[in-house]
Amino acid sequence: MPKHETPLLDQLETGPWPSFVSDLKRQAASRAQKQNEIQYQIPVDVVEDLLGLLELSYVEKEVHWKHGGIVGVFGYGGGVIGRYCDQPAKFPGVAHFHTVRVNQPAGKYYKTDFLRQLADLWDFRGSGVTNMHGSTGDIILLGTTTPQLEEIFFELTHKMNQDLGGSGSNLRTPEACLGESRCEWSCYDTQELCYQLTMEYQDELHRPAFPYKFKFKFDGCPNGCVASIARADLSFIGTWRDDIRIDQEAVAGYVGGELNPNGGAHAGKDWGPFDIQKEVIDLCPTKCMWMEGGKLKINDRECTRCMHCLNVMPRALRIGNDRGLSILAGAKAPILDGAQMSSLLVPFMKVEDPYDNIKEIIENIWDWWMEEGKNRERLGETMKRQGFQKLLEVTGIPADPRHVEHPRFTPYIFWKEEEVPGGFERDIADYRTRHPK
Amino acid sequence: MAFISSGYNPDKPMENRITDIGPRHYSEFLPPVIKNNKGKWLWHEIIEPGVLMHKAESGDEVYSVRVGTARIMGVETLREVLDIADKHCDGYVRWTTRNNIEFMVDSKDKVQPLKDDLLSRKFDGGSYKFPIGGTGAGLTNIVHTQGWIHCHTPASDASGTVKVVMDELFEEFGQMRMPAQLRISMACCLNMCGAVHCSDIAILGYHRKPPAIDHEELDNLCEIPLAVASCPTAAIRPTKTTITDRKTGEEKSVKTVAIKNERCMFCGNCYTMCPALPLTDAEGDGLVIMAGGKVSNRIDAPKFSKVVVAFLPNETPRWPSLAKCMRQMVDAYVKGARKYERFGHWAERIGWERFFEVTGLEFTHHLIDDFRDPAYFTWRQTTNFKF
């Protein structure tokens, strides 16, 4: 018998897609069943009460969680989000239900022994409910009590060699696509750069010193599988600056129908025979490709590396050899002044250990934003308020037409005094010698 | 429930303390075929929906079987994932950015037994535990936020709305018959813990009533200047009011705030700064539907999603209007878009006036932007329109 009747949630057990309600019920039943075996450190019926509270939200259509409150582990200002419910008498198991963010390995590969250890720890000291993964990329452990926080941290660090992720006005846990580990399009080792910068900035990740949150995300190519351009204050997107490598035999294979275009991505519908002119050459945004004597030609100088042709013919076209990344800055969600995407700041940079060129950009931006950013102002908002020219100034990057979609609309240029010969000090007497009153 | 110590000594928190060690290095967790061929992959092919094959310079192949999950995962189900990975994949497994799991094997003959095993597993309620799909020109898993299950600011539930939409569109998860990939995202408030604002279709929780003001608690719970400063439209000002003390019955003057309701855009930023200003409300809260965004640079620049439905109510537990709206949009897209056109490309090519016609969605005055300067750039400054 479940502790709480959940007639509304029960209706989310039907249908083919994995049911989170069924999953939670399974977890609740497992705790009840194993309570003599495992000395659960938080209430055995925590998941029952979670379902009960959620059912109440489904009935009332209002949320029942309160603000965080300050909880965490000693010396860190992030990694734990305090959570309390506003109906503790009815649902004592979730009266305290704090979240722990665990910094995921780059690319989210795991060995099962590691996750088994984590599952055992979380079963024992928490609700056993996780998110694999949270939106920012962390492993999310949902629901434990305050006394368990230090215990969990101790076990993570001592037994699993594993640290917490970021929350609050910190560097948030950086996230990377799987990069070179399993993708032919990755223009740099996203996992390694993600790991190295995560380690370099541990202090910024754990101890809040910023105006607001700050996110790094690492995409290996302009396809953008971790959506860095939409989600990260600094987006690191792989690119190349030499020529696309062409295998003409494979091009002929696609044209002749021997190779499956799009890596098979469109195989579920009959779109007719592959037409390289229509599907590749005509869709090229810069029109820099053509067929000549049965061979595909590319004027690489005009290519903007949008990836379309590579996506369509992965066996014929490969990224160039002179690889690196572009850095874009300032993406954020709508709170407060509307959503922003990242804007191109560094068109190209090589990615080489010890990454000093990249760190210099990051630290110059932080110095400026920490000085000038208002409370709860994301980098993108500071950029809007003080201008892109200011961002160039603090990073020492010269202005470049690649920085803009087009030159400015308004002629209201804020000339600086040192840019105008003779400066701004005017002598009205001298003026009057030429222009009497 | 006896407290069992991990070894941590609360009297001496710094004793043997380990900090700032970061995550485990990813290389510890790479399957051998991945580790051996890292940076040396030649090409890939989706050999069937949900199954990718990557070919390396060495001739090695890795087959990845992708399955959807609900994202919320109890450790019981997690252990089941690990058992499968031990049985078929030598103890390795990975997750994708969009809450899918990938089981990787190093030869083709291992794919079918793995697939059979995955599809044979169902929850007690009847749903699949590990549906295979999410590749190529089809629907992949919805990235989403916490909703009513764990957040304090949501205007809707995330897991429930996602379940409903994925049930409605389930057959598209396991097929690749769309003009391009379709990325759907769900965020339960404007904080958008995910890239909702650049998705093919975005489902967004939104409040429609200004905050209630708890005058009794406000000055105790909040820094009034911070609450005032938090409002992007300057709708909040400090004030005093008279309340009746619940204990003594006496009237007393308290410091609090006043809200100019007509300026409120319901963003909830004040509530984040001040818990005495709650927004959640059964009638007020619901969903906004946005469409036509993307994050990829393919063919053209990334795009923001646009609001195409101003409000859908929270029809718990199965949000029928939401499911219907998604079905209308997806069907119209699949029918009308050309190969390679993302949702936004299609809407822009046919024109938004046609978009509302072919989807059957209603265009209302709420869909015309009136938020600050960027609004102007969304109005039509041309005589080029369709009848």
Q: What is the mean pLDDT of residues A178-182?
A: 98
pLDDT of the residue at B222: 94
Q: Distance between alpha carbon B83 and the CA centroid of its chain, in Å?
A: 28
Which residues in chain B have Cβ-Cβ distances shorter than 8 Å to A311? Answer: 298
CA-nearest of A98, A128, A91, A173 to B150 is A98
Tell me which residue in A130, A133, A336 faces B232 most closely, judged by beta carbons: A336
A67 confidence band (pLDDT: 50, 70, 90): confident
CA distance A124 to chain B (A): 10
Q: Please give the average per-residue pLDDT across A364-375, as a whole number.
A: 97
Whether pTM exceeds 0.95:
yes
Q: Whole-angstrom Cα distance, residue A260 to residue A279? A: 13
Query: How many CB atoms are located within 10 Å of the residue A415 CB?
Result: 8
Among candidates A17, A112, A226 on the partner chain, residue whose Cβ is nearest the Cβ of B127: A17
pLDDT of residue B195: 67
Residue of B nearest to A198 (CA): B22
Q: How many CB pairs under 8 A join A and B?
A: 443
Task: Return per-residue pLDDT of chain B as tens, 387 residues.
Answer: 799 999 999 999 999 999 999 999 999 999 999 999 999 999 999 999 999 999 999 999 999 999 999 999 999 999 999 999 999 999 999 999 999 999 999 999 999 999 999 999 999 999 999 999 999 999 999 999 999 999 999 999 999 999 999 999 999 999 999 999 999 999 999 888 876 899 999 999 999 999 999 999 999 999 999 999 999 999 999 999 999 988 888 999 999 999 999 999 999 999 989 999 999 999 999 999 999 999 999 999 999 999 999 999 999 999 999 999 999 999 999 999 999 999 999 999 999 999 999 999 999 999 999 998 889 999 999 999 999
Contact B155, B188 (CB under 8 A): yes
C-beta atoms of A227 and B195 within 8 A: yes
Does residue A164 have a cis bond before it (omega within 30 degrees)?
Answer: no
pLDDT of the residue at B13:
93
Q: Is A93 on the interface with B (CB under 8 A)?
A: no
Is the Cβ of A341 closer than 8 Å to some Cβ of chain B?
A: yes
Q: How far is B254 from chain A (nearest CA, A)?
A: 23
How far is the C-alpha of A203 from the C-alpha of A195, rounded, in Å? 14
Interface confidence: ipTM more than 0.90: yes
Q: Give the 3-state secondary structure of residue A276.
A: helix
User: Which of A61, A43, A396, A261 minimizes the C-alpha distance to B188?
Assistant: A61
- Residues A336, A337, A338, A340: is their CA dihedral positive or negative? negative
The whole-angstrom separation of Cα B334 and Cα A56 is: 38
pLDDT for the residue A201: 98
Angle between helices A379-386 and A356-372 (to 10 degrees): 70
Beta strand residue intervals within B24-100, DSSP E = 41-48, 51-56, 61-67, 72-74, 92-95
Would you state the structure tokens that stand for residue B15, as one six-digit string?
């004793």
Euclidean distance between CA atoms A343 and A327, whole angstroms: 8
Is-contact A122 A128, C-beta < 8 A? yes
Which A residues 346-375 touch B at CB under 8 Å? 375
Chain B residues whose CB is inside 8 A of the A33 CB are: none
Closest CB to A133 among B95, B131, B151: B95
Contact A132 B91 (CB under 8 A): no
β-bridge partners, A175: A217
* For residues A269-282, average pLDDT: 97
Other C-beta atoms closer than 10 Å to the C-beta of B220 total 10
pLDDT tens by residue, A195-227? 999 999 999 999 999 999 999 999 999 999 999
Q: What is the biggest distance separating any 2 CA atoms in chain A, rounded to whole angstroms?
A: 101
* Contacting residues of B for A154, CB less than 8 Å apart: 6-8
Task: Tell me the residue ranges of DSSP E strands in B2-59.
Answer: 41-48, 51-56
pLDDT the model gives residue B374: 87
**From CA B196, how far away is CA B351, in angstroms rounded?**
22
Residues in chain B within 8 Å Cβ distance of A62: 280-282, 285
Report whether pLDDT(A178) > 90.
yes
* Structure tokens given for A217: 């995300």
Find chain A residues with C-beta within 8 A of B173's C-beta. Answer: 17
Q: Where does B130-249 show beta strands of DSSP type E?
A: 184-187, 201-206, 236-244
In chain A, DSSP finds a helix count (H) and a strand count (E) of 15, 14
Name the residue among B158, B155, B185 with its Cα closest to residue B313. Answer: B155
Task: Tell me the average pLDDT of chain A.
Answer: 97
Scan for tokens 């399955």, then name that residue. Answer: B67
Helix then strand count (H, E) for chain B reads: 11, 12
- Bin A332: left if φ > 0, else alpha if -120 < ψ < 50, else beta: beta
**pLDDT tens per residue across span B53-97:** 999 999 999 999 999 999 999 999 999 999 999 999 999 999 999
